[in-house]
């Protein structure tokens, strides 16, 4: 028989023989003792109450996440924040006012035109800072270069004010700031306040290695004089120009983004940690190759819990959606045979030309396979930009939606493969779902990601592209036929799915890395 006695701070369980277990929930501490006398017993109770009272007066340890205003940047940071939250740290996300208007305003109980001081989602406080849109620029016509200039100008001032207003007074102790590569100025703000700073790298570790070597002039890359130069780097296969990220090529038209990446690697000396949304077993060779230069620590895959075999009702997901998914596609998938459906999506940013859409439409129709195709509506247009009559002609075999719950789709047993633009978040979701991929990269990190799919991870096929990036219908048809007939892609996908789950399980590589990171953060408190 056991008798449990509780007060505000401690719980005591008496067992046969007069032994007691004292549990202090505030410290997650249990003490098992045998009491020789009532005096000693009361003394221990008093000491426990005193210690618990002191605990209440201790500073709250906070981590501040700073995210660029894109869904693919915010979600990995939020999921990392959830893991830090579960280890006893307080977590705040700071992102741009644009994110409030795109995401949180629509879901607010009482949405207003004025951005609120803060909101809370899944235990994480969200603060919003100005990215400069208040200056009168039209955010529908602003170019990427203009936006990067604006956020680089207004962001540091706004973030500094957030830190002053929320973390420099009272019991809140800001022990770390974590940013991502598109807001490198965060490292300067952190240094100004003498706060340790980390970066969450949201692309493959392979891209981190390429950019690090490129911006530090450690290797030779294609130039205007020699644009066809191949690149050989440790831990990676031979890279041809079409395998490299578009921002390192001499033909790159986006001037501002390479400047931001260059700034990020110039700021590297101000970072105490570089974390990666990947897992060691997936990119071991390239991670090991960076160990002596600038180590990168894997803490992923940072994907919804359901993809990792975890109970989403218990774990919960903190990810956001900037577009409302059409859930009716899940009912349609339920009616399809196992491993029969071609899933096609090019992410939240890519806009395909009419020629590209027509080529995909012909390939899907000719495949005679069930398909689920995500085609986003263009601004101000209600109709989907598809070849005339396509939806009606294929309604018995396929479904076209403007957006879908991708993680649920990828893990659905009827889905056989994923025709993808090779965005890293989508790739990680496919890897953790065990879904083979057909790669059609567009720009930025995607060409290198496609190389990883076909030659490193061996999870699928890279489509042959013409000089303008176009893929012929016949090329897609060949890829569909091969992906359905070759069982090696599915076997490899199953292996990496298992490895991803092991990495985030107790004792796994990423879980251990996160715990070490937390231990170091807490260690900074006294420095």
**Nearest alpha carbon to residue 430 among 456, 406, 398:** 406
| Residue 323 located in a structural domain | no
Residues 8, 90, single domain; the answer is no
| Residue 495 located in a structural domain | no
Residues 510, 465, single domain; the answer is no
Residues 394, 368, single domain; the answer is yes
Residues 312, 348, single domain; the answer is no
CA distance 466 to 453: 19
pTM for this entry:
0.85
Which SS3 state, helix, strand or coil, does residue 434 take? coil
Strands (E), 327-376: 341-345, 371-374
| Residue 496 located in a structural domain | no
Q: Is 310 exposed, middle or buried (0-12, 13-18, 19+ CB in 10 A)?
A: middle
**Nearest alpha carbon to residue 410 among 278, 304, 307, 305:** 307
Residues 481, 345, single domain; the answer is yes
CB atoms within 10 A of CB 445: 25
Which SS3 state, helix, strand or coil, does residue 346 take? coil
Omega into 229 within 30° of 0, i.e. cis?
no
**Two structure tokens written together for 393:** 């002609």
CB atoms within 10 A of CB 243: 22
What is the model's pLDDT at position 51?
Answer: 46
321, β-bridge pairs = none
Residues 401, 445, single domain; the answer is yes
- What is the phi-psi region of residue 12: left when phi exceeds 0, alpha when psi lies from -120 to 50, beta otherwise? beta
Residues 78, 179, single domain; the answer is yes
What is the model's pLDDT at position 18?
Answer: 42
| Residue 500 located in a structural domain | no
H helix count then E strand count, the chain: 19, 18
CA distance 108 to 288: 45
Contact 81, 65 (CB under 8 A): yes
| Residue 439 located in a structural domain | yes
Residues 259, 296, single domain; the answer is no
CB atoms within 10 A of CB 293: 14
Q: Phi/psi at 247 (nearest 5 deg)? A: -75, -15
Task: For residue 395, give the CATH number of its domain.
Answer: 3.40.50.2000
Question: Which one of 248, 271, 294 terminates a domain?
Answer: 271
CA distance 501 to 503: 5
In sign, the C-alpha dihedral spanning 261, 266, 269, 270 is negative
CA distance 522 to 175: 7
Residues 46, 67, single domain; the answer is no
Q: What is the pLDDT of residues 348-388, one digit of tens each?
A: 788 888 999 999 999 999 999 999 999 987 766 666 788 88
Residue in the block written with tokens 């000396």: 269
Residues 395, 338, single domain; the answer is yes
What is the model's pLDDT at position 117?
Answer: 67
Q: Is 451 exposed, middle or buried (0-12, 13-18, 19+ CB in 10 A)?
A: buried
Residues 9, 65, single domain; the answer is no
What is the model's pLDDT at position 34?
Answer: 42
| Residue 499 located in a structural domain | no
Which SS3 state, helix, strand or coil, does residue 417 take? strand
What is the model's pLDDT at position 46?
Answer: 46
Q: What is the pLDDT of residues 230-287, one digit of tens each?
A: 999 999 999 999 999 999 999 887 667 888 888 889 888 899 999 999 999 999 999 9
| Residue 403 located in a structural domain | yes
Residues 100, 88, single domain; the answer is yes
What does the CA dihedral 487, 491, 493, 496 come to, rounded to 10 degrees? -160
| Residue 371 located in a structural domain | yes
CA distance 159 to 127: 10
Contact 37, 27 (CB under 8 A): no
CA distance 135 to 477: 49
Provide the domain limits for residue 478. 328-486
Contact 156, 177 (CB under 8 A): no
Collect all residues with Cβ–Cβ distance below 8 Å to 226 and sequence separation of at least 6.
none
Contact 133, 150 (CB under 8 A): yes
Q: Phi/psi at 323 (nearest 5 deg)? A: -130, 145
Domain count, the chain: 4
Per-10-residue mean pLDDT, the chain, length 527: 35 39 36 44 46 54 93 92 96 88 58 68 88 60 79 92 88 93 93 97 98 96 96 98 95 79 88 97 98 96 93 66 86 98 92 92 97 84 80 94 95 98 97 98 96 98 94 98 94 98 97 98 65
For the beta sheet containing 11-14, the strands, ordered from the edge strand earlier in sequence to the opposite edge, are 3-6, 11-14, 19-24, 29-34
């Amino acid at each position: 028989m056991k008798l449990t006695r509780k007060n505000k701070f401690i719980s005591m369980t008496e067992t046969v023989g007069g032994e007691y277990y004292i549990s202090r929930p505030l410290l997650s501490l249990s003490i098992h003792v045998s009491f020789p006398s009532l005096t000693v017993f009361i003394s221990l109770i008093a000491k426990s109450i005193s210690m618990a009272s002191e605990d209440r007066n201790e500073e709250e340890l906070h981590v501040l996440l700073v995210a660029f205003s894109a869904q693919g940047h915010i979600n990995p940071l939020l999921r990392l924040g959830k893991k830090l939250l579960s280890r006893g740290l307080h977590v705040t996300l700071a992102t741009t006012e644009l994110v409030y208007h795109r995401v949180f305003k629509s879901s607010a109980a009482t949405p207003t035109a004025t951005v609120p001081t803060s909101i809370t989602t899944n235990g994480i406080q969200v603060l919003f800072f100005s990215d400069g849109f208040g200056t009168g620029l039209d955010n529908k016509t602003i170019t990427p270069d203009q936006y990067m200039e604006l956020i680089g100008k207004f962001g540091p001032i706004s973030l500094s004010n957030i830190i002053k207003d929320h973390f420099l007074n009272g019991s809140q102790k800001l022990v770390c700031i974590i940013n991502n590569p598109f807001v490198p100025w965060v490292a300067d703000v952190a240094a100004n306040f003498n706060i340790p700073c980390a970066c969450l790298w949201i692309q493959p570790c392979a891209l981190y290695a390429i950019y690090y070597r490129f911006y530090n002039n450690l290797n030779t890359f294609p130039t205007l004089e020699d644009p066809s130069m191949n690149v050989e780097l440790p831990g990676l296969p031979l890279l041809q120009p079409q395998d490299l990220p578009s921002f390192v090529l001499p033909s790159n038209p986006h001037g501002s983004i390479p400047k931001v990446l260059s700034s990020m690697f110039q700021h590297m000396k101000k970072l105490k940690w570089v974390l990666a949304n990947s897992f060691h077993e997936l990119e071991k060779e390239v991670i090991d190759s960076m160990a002596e230069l600038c180590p990168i620590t894997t803490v992923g895959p940072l994907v919804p819990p359901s993809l990792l075999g975890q109970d989403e009702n218990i774990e919960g997901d903190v990810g956001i959606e900037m577009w409302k998914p059409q859930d009716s596609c899940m009912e349609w998938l339920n009616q399809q045979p196992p491993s029969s459906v071609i899933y096609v999506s090019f992410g939240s940013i890519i806009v395909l030309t009419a020629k590209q859409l027509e080529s995909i439409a012909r390939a899907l129709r000719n495949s005679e396979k069930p398909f689920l195709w995500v085609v986003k509506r263009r601004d101000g247009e209600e109709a989907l930009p598809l070849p005339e009559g396509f939806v009606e002609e294929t309604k018995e075999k396929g479904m076209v939606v403007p957006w879908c719950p991708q993680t649920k789709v990828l893990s659905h047993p009827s889905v056989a493969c994923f025709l993808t633009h090779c965005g890293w978040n989508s790739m990680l979701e496919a890897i953790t779902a065990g879904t083979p991929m057909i790669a059609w990269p567009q720009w930025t990190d995607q060409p290198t990601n496609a190389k990883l799919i076909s030659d490193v991870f061996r999870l699928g096929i890279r489509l042959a592209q013409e000089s303008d990036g176009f893929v012929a219908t016949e090329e897609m048809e060949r890829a569909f036929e091969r992906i359905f007939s070759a069982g090696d892609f599915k076997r490899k996908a199953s292996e990496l799915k298992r490895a991803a789950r092991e990495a985030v399980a107790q004792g796994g590589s990423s879980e251990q890395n996160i715990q070490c990171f937390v231990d170091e953060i807490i260690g900074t408190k006294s420095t």
